[in-house]
Amino acid sequence: MNTKWAKMMSSINCGSSEQTPLQARLNELTSSISKVGLLINFLVLVVLLILYFTGKNQDANRKQEFVPGQTMGDNIMNSVGGKIAATVTIISVMIPEGSPIAVTLILAYSMKSLMGDGAMVRKLWACETMGSATTICIDKTGTLTENQMIVTKFWVGQDTVAENWCSSASKFFVDLIWDGVASNSEGSVYNAKPSSESVCRFSGSPTEKAILSWAFSQVSMDMEKIKKRCKLIQGEVFDSRKKTSGVLIMNIMDGTVHVHWKGVAQTILAMCSSFYNRSGMEKDLNKDERKKFEQIIQGMEASGLRCIAFAHKKVCTEAIEERNYRNKIQEDSLTLLGLVGIKELCRPGVNCAVKAFQNAGVNIKMITADNEFTAKAIAKECGILRPEDDASNGAIVTGTGFRKIPREKRPEEVEKIRVMARSSSSDKLFMVQCLKQKGHVVAVIGDGMDNIPALKEAHIGVSMGIQGIEVAKESSDIVINSDNFFSVAEVLRWGRCIYDNIQKFIQFKLTVNIAALLINFVAATSSGDVPLTAIQLLWVNLIVDTLGAFALSTDLPTDLPTYQSTEQTKEVMNKPPVGWTEPLITNIMWRNLVGQAIYQVAVLLTLQVKGESIFRVDEVVNRTMIFNAFVLCQVFNEFNARKLARMNIFKGIHKNKLFLGIIFMTVALQVGMVEFLKRFMVTKRLSWGQWGACFGIVAASWPIAWVIKCIPVPHTPISQLIEKIIQRNSN
């Protein structure tokens, strides 16, 4: 348990009880609404009891309900119980006990749709959390790049050579290159034929496969000949600290013994005292020549290439005895054979995805174990670094440099960092912790072993499903099955759409709550009675929490695959992230829901007071029209909730067949409730004219919504405006 592996595994197996941004907001909203609802209901109960015991209430015979000294105790208990039942009716609609179910329904439907787009969502809240992300930390190898490499440059001496250079080089020098590549390699070649490279299959690390592929295609390496003439005496496997590997081999043909080393160019160059030029002649590696090679290596790294060097030395047979004594392959006074520049291939769609993140206001940070030069080149190619970004302005740091920053200053410095090179798993973990401490919603994208602690620590972890290791996928919240990096931008887009749909539902839900609360409150305090019964309000809650949530959750941009495709997705992806700071209910939502609630209250209270005389109906029919109009108001308000800020609420509605189907089903169920379940719902059948009057009343909510959206609102949240006013008055 004291090994590094065991400590890493124990850290990722610890469960996290941390809430997502949406969960925190919903819990706060639910708590606030419940407290307000209970307070208002308590006030309603107090008012009703005062009206009753002061003799203000009258019974059906227009007589005073309570007469001191005359009213019997049973009648008092029945009347007080009725008042309590009336307030409980209001509580049933005000407390949002069904909101978690409705939000879960939205998340489940969206998660199912997202999984159809090539992503496996392992946690229900993961996609929505991705939509709230303010910073994304991305690993380079296997994430931004394809984990595939190709050799693009080969230097012999201080000159680059073309593909056909082998025909003019000496056989001795070509054989040395063959021996150095084939003998000192952890990769393997299957079905290799010198005449046909296309039938070769290479295995091993991406670097090894790139070198072997290059050796077969450009150096015409013959693996069969090498196996026949070379015998491995000793090998030193790749050392991750020195980043080198070496072998001691014997040429069976002539009995000579050779040392071959391969590794990071700077390290191998330091082990060499001579080099081969383009003609295959050996030359001394003096100070000036060494400086030229260092410049060549730096130039290759600056262009984003991973520079690997090959070195060789012929040793006497006594070296075998010396090896038995020292148990170490000689690693000094070597001769440099050549340098290869290996390029990592960026994934298709990386540039578009990074641009989409940046347009969405999300900070992108690349974290890699590669050197600064390679990291900088790849970051510029992917669009993460701007032309003016470098180490001087803090945009590029190393893991060592990041660890040297004082702990109290790290949260400030982490904002400037765009690329962190030569980083370890602990560096990535510290980066995520600092960003969370700064208040960011952090997403980590990676698929390697060194990314696991960061994937677990972040608010949302994303891994690639094909090339990613199993432990990384188990530590992630979302797995991209196709390994298409642009799918990550699609997850962000879906997450933001889910958040928007939840906001639409919250606006829709609160409009019902506020309208029902005000109607019953005013009616109860004025007449001592409530126009909407408990059964009717429970039916409204069923429509709002289930059918309404399902209808609004279907309004997603599922028809086209890219974020540039529709006006809706452009609007979603070009606005800043919500993070932790933005309130769940925005000023636009407050404007919309208050305007609609006022209209509904005004209309329904008018029906309550003047409905019988206006439509010349009895009390039961009037109550039925109030209930019917209230339900239809919510159905029509679903159209208003589709567009929180846009004037045209019908745009694109013809494409959403499911939304229209749910609306039709809701209206059909309401007709059935009023016309056929009248005894259960305490209603009475309505005539065609009365149905038309109900539809006419609620249809007016559409032009009213258009007028309401013309009212400008400040961007600063209402809570902050109130705080500023209080501070100004206190000063």
Q: Please provide residue 318's backbone torsions phi and psi, each rounded to the nearest 5 degrees.
A: -65, -15
- Provide the residue type at 721 as one letter: L
| Closest-CA residue to 459 (of 471, 447, 476) | 476
Distance CA 289, CA 296 (A): 11
Residues 398, 417: Cα–Cα separation, whole Å: 10
Residue 659 makes CB contacts below 8 A (sequence gap 6+) with 551, 552, 554, 555, 642, 653
What is the spatial distance between Cα 673 and Cα 535, in angstroms, rounded to a whole number? 11
CA dihedral 128, 134, 137, 138 (to 10 degrees): 60
The residue from 139, 179, 389, 447 that is catalytic is: 139
The question of whether 254 is a catalytic residue gets the answer: no
Q: Which residues of 167-189 are buried (b: 16+ CB within 10 A; e: fewer)?
A: eebeeebbbbbbbbbbbbbebeb
CA end-to-end span of the chain: 59
CA atoms of 527 and 533, how far apart (whole Å): 15
Return the residue matching tokens 């029906």: 607
**CA separation for the pair 378, 547 (Å, rounded):** 49
Exposure of 264 by Cβ count < 10 A (0-12 exposed, 13-18 middle, 19+ buried)? middle
**Separation between Cα atoms, residue 628 and residue 531, nearest integer Å:** 12
d(CA 662, CA 665): 5
Residue 185's alpha-carbon distances to 152, 194, 240, 248, 251, in angstroms, are: 19, 18, 15, 12, 17
Q: SS3 of 87, please?
A: helix
Burial letters 19-53, b for 16+ CB under 10 A, else e: ebbbeebbeebeeebeeebeebbeebbebbeebbb
Handedness of CA 48, 51, 55, 57 (dihedral sign): negative
Q: What is the rounded distance in angstroms from the CA atom of residue 712 to the CA atom of residue 596? A: 16
Q: How far apart are CA 530 and CA 519, in angstroms?
A: 8
Instruction: State the Cα–Cα distance between residues 374 and 394, nearest whole angstrom.
Output: 17
Token reading at 427: 């560096």
Instruction: Count Cβ atoms below 10 Å from residue 560 Cβ, excluding itself.
Output: 11
- 27's tokens: 């819990």
Nearest-angstrom CA–CA distance, 263 and 246: 9
Residue with tokens 């995520």: 432
Q: 615 near 622, Cβ under 8 Å?
A: yes
Residue among 696, 692, 673 nearest 684 (CA): 673
The owner of tokens 């879960």 is 104
Q: Is residue 237 within a helix (H) or strand (E), and if so which, with residue range?
A: strand 230-239
CB atoms within 10 A of CB 676: 11
Pair type for strands 396-398 and 419-421: parallel
The separation between CA 112 and the C-alpha centre of its own chain, rounded to angstroms, equals 16
**Token pair for residue 319?**
């070296």
Separation of alpha carbons 519 and 255, rounded Å: 102
Q: Give catalytic residue positions.
A: 139
